[in-house]
Structure formats: structure tokens, C-alpha cells
């Protein structure tokens, strides 16, 4: 059987070696398509494969349709908003993710972004410290939990809200839980976003949230660009001269934001939350093992469709 590693943004070499080893130990063949530039390369590569490992790579209806032998797609990471789950289900293709495997990498970046913003983008001027500041974690999943764990070391005053995670669970970790998301935005100077992109969350961070935020609020987005209503974001930054937006997912309005708010806005050029050797290794190895376990033993743990 053939397993395709399909990553426009390549895994670290160490991770690729480990993935290939796992696949060949199971007497399967590993093939790789990295840094591709158009969908025809992808359509061609998926034609005869049984399994695919992806990152943020798109698995559209067209691509799934071209993959006539495909049985399983594993997203080496957590968000599956890049996969057409309905189209996969219609074709009996199992889709899995590897939850938690890159959570520490993303959490470390989120904290790094908080420091970067607090120290005025390292421009040499007087900044502020994280110690004692109120941090609001929006969604207390794998990444949110890791952010909380690291922020404790910085002695931040930590709050969280998660519509799916009961307050008692959050409080067990010594984190204050809010039962309304508005309260989180109203209370905390630092807001770190960790919500997935779903039809419910798309563009959900909008005027309603921005107008509740503190005058010196810092919004950190290591989740997805699609959860932000960019028009409302721009209005908020125009009307609140001290707020900041730092993101790991370049907004559609990046150019405009850079021109208007060069001292208060920053985006990484390419999503890099999970761009560490450790995260690539963890997620890549998990993805390869999940594929083998499914193809050889029918194990469907981590199936999302
Ligand atoms: C995820 O959903 O796991 C992260 O956003 C990482 O995405 P990436 O593998 O494309 O960097």
C-alpha cells in the first residue's frame, strides 16, 4: 500500500525520516509531494495512493474525487477545516487528526507573541511585563491548556472560557473560568484565541467582542484567520488607538493593516505555530502510526468524520 506525505509546507527532515521508517516497517511505500505550487501536482500525486498525511493542505471534493484508492487522510495537526469532511464521508474515506501533538509549539508561539507585543515589537522603547497582567484564554483545548501552563510561570492572572469545557474542569487547573465569553473579553488585557474554524466560529470575533475589549487590549491569534471579522477588526483598531493585534495567520487585509497600524499590528509571513522539529515529529509520527493502525487493524481512534 502507498502512503503519500502531502505537505506544501514541509515537515522537518527528522520528522520525514521517522514517518518513512514507520511506513516501511509496515511494508508500505512512502511517497512525498512537498512545496507544490498548483493543484494539478496534487491531483496527479493522489491518484493511486491508499493513505495521505497532510498539514494545512486542502482536501477538496475535486482532490478526494481524484484519489480513487484513498481510504484514509490524516491531518498531522488539530484543525480539519481544510478537509471537505462531507466529500470524504460520501466516499467512505476516513479522516483523522492528531490532537495535542503540536499544542506546545503553538502555545509557546502565543506566549512569544505576547512578549513581542508587550515590548513594542522590540523597537527599543519602554514596554511592559506579562507578570500580573490578566490573560484570557478563549477555548481551553490542548493549545489553551498549554498556554495556561506556560503563563503560570510568568505569574499572569489567568482566565479561560470554553463553550464545551465545564468551568469545574478549567478551575481544577487553578485557572479562573468565566461562564460568559463576553466577560473574558471585558476583563482581560491579553486575549489568546484558540477556537477552531467551524461554521459557528467563522467571523465570530467581531464588533460584539471588539467593543467590549479594554483600551489597551492585545489580541493574539494563533488559531485561524477566518474566525476574525476583519472589517470589524480594522474599525476597532481605528477607534481604539492603543489596542494591538498579533497573528500567526496572515489576514486578507494584511497590507492595509500594516499601512494603517504598523506599530500595533504584526503577522508572521507564513503560519509557523506548529513549525518546530518537535511538533513535526510528534504530529507526523502520530499520523503515520494512525494510518498503519487503521489500514492493518481497522483502528478508527481520532476519526473526525
Ligand atoms: C493545526 O491545526 O494543527 C495547526 O494550525 C498547524 O497547522 P500546520 O501544520 O499547517 O502548521
**Amino acid 67: pLDDT:** 98
Q: What is the pLDDT of residue 258?
A: 98
| Residues 153-182 pLDDT 10s | 999 999 999 999 999 999 999 999 999 999
Distance CA 256, CA 199 (A): 26
C-alpha cell at position 177:
473560568
User: Nine-digit cell at 205?
Assistant: 470575533
Beta strands in 2-128 (DSSP E): 2-7, 29-34, 51-54, 72-75, 94-97
How far is the C-alpha of 188 from the C-alpha of 178, rounded, in Å?
A: 11
Distance (Å) from CA 79 to ligand 1 centroid: 7
Which parts of the chain have pLDDT scores under 50?
none
Ligand 1: which residue has its CA nearest to atom 5?
79
Pocket flag, ligand 1, residue 187 (CB < 6 Å): no
Calpha distance 243→108 (Å, rounded): 22
Specify the pLDDT at position 80: 97
Predicted pLDDT of residue 118: 98
For ligand 1, pick from 56, 141, 224 the residue to mutate: most ligand atoms within 8 Å of CB.
56
Sign for the pseudo-dihedral over CA of 193, 198, 200, 202: positive
3-class state of residue 117 by DSSP: helix
- Ligand 1 midpoint to CA 224 (Å): 9
162: left (phi over 0), alpha (psi -120 to 50) or beta: beta
30 Cα to the center of ligand 1, angstroms = 21
CA distances in angstroms from 259 to 123, 234, 253, 264, listed in the order given: 17, 11, 10, 11
Distance of CA 103 from the midpoint of ligand 1 (Å): 9
Q: Any idea what DSSP says for residue 122? A: G
Domains of the chain: 2-101+275-297 (3.40.50.720), 103-267 (3.40.50.720)
Q: Which atom of ligand 1 is nearest to the CA of 274?
A: 11
From the list 194, 214, 240, 223, the residue with the least C-alpha distance to 134 is 214
Question: Which residue's C-alpha comes closest to atom 10 of ligand 1?
Answer: 56
| Residue 239: partners with Cβ closer than 8 Å, 6 or more residues away | none
Select from 16, 59, 76, 78 the residue to mutate for testing ligand 1; criterion: most ligand atoms less than 8 Å from CB.
78
What ipTM was reported for this prediction? 0.97
79 pocket-lining for ligand 1 (C-beta < 6 Å): yes
**Angle of helix 277-297 relative to helix 13-25, nearest 10 degrees?**
20
For ligand 1, atom 11, which residue shows the shortest CA distance? 274
Contact of 115 with 136, CB cutoff 8 Å:
no
How remote is the CA of residue 276 from the centroid of ligand 1, in Å? 11
C-alpha 114 to ligand 1 mean position (Å): 20
Amino acid at each position: 500500500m502507498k502512503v503519500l506525505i502531502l505537505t506544501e509546507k514541509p515537515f522537518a527532515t527528522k520528522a520525514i525520516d521517522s514517518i518513512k521508517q514507520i511506513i516501511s516497517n509496515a511494508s508500505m511505500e512512502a511517497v512525498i509531494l512537498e512545496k507544490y505550487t498548483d493543484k494539478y501536482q496534487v491531483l496527479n500525486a493522489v491518484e493511486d495512493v491508499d493513505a495521505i498525511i497532510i498539514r494545512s493542505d486542502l482536501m477538496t471534493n475535486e482532490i478526494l474525487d481524484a484519489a480513487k484508492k484513498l481510504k484514509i487522510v490524516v491531518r498531522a495537526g488539530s484543525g480539519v477545516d481544510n478537509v471537505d469532511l462531507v466529500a470524504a464521508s460520501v466516499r467512505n474515506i476516513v479522516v483523522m487528526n492528531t490532537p495535542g501533538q503540536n499544542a506546545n509549539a503553538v502555545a509557546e508561539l502565543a506566549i512569544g507573541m505576547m512578549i513581542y507585543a508587550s515590548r513594542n515589537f522590540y523597537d527599543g522603547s519602554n514596554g511592559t511585563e506579562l507578570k500580573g497582567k490578566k490573560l484570557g484564554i478563549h477555548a481551553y483545548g490542548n493549545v489553551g491548556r498549554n498556554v495556561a501552563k506556560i503563563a503560570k510561570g510568568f505569574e499572569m492572572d489567568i482566565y479561560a472560557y470554553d463553550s464545551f469545557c465545564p468551568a469545574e474542569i478549567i478551575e481544577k487547573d487553578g485557572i479562573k473560568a468565566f461562564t460568559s465569553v463576553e466577560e473574558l473579553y471585558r476583563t482581560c488585557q491579553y486575549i489568546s484565541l484558540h477556537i477552531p474554524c467551524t461554521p459557528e466560529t467563522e467571523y465570530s470575533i467581531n464588533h460584539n467582542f471588539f467593543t467590549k475589549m479594554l483600551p489597551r487590549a492585545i489580541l493574539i491569534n494563533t488559531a485561524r484567520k477566518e474566525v476574525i471579522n476583519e472589517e470589524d477588526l480594522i474599525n476597532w483598531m481605528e477607534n481604539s488607538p492603543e489596542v494591538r493585534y498579533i497573528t500567526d495567520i496572515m489576514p486578507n487585509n494584511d497590507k492595509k493593516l500594516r499601512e494603517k497600524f504598523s506599530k500595533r499590528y504584526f503577522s508572521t509571513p507564513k503560519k509557523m505555530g506548529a513549525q518546530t522539529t518537535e511538533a513535526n515529529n510528534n504530529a507526523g509520527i502520530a499520523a503515520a502510526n494512525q494510518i498503519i493502525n487503521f489500514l492493518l487493524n481497522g483502528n478508527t481512534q481520532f476519526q473526525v468524520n
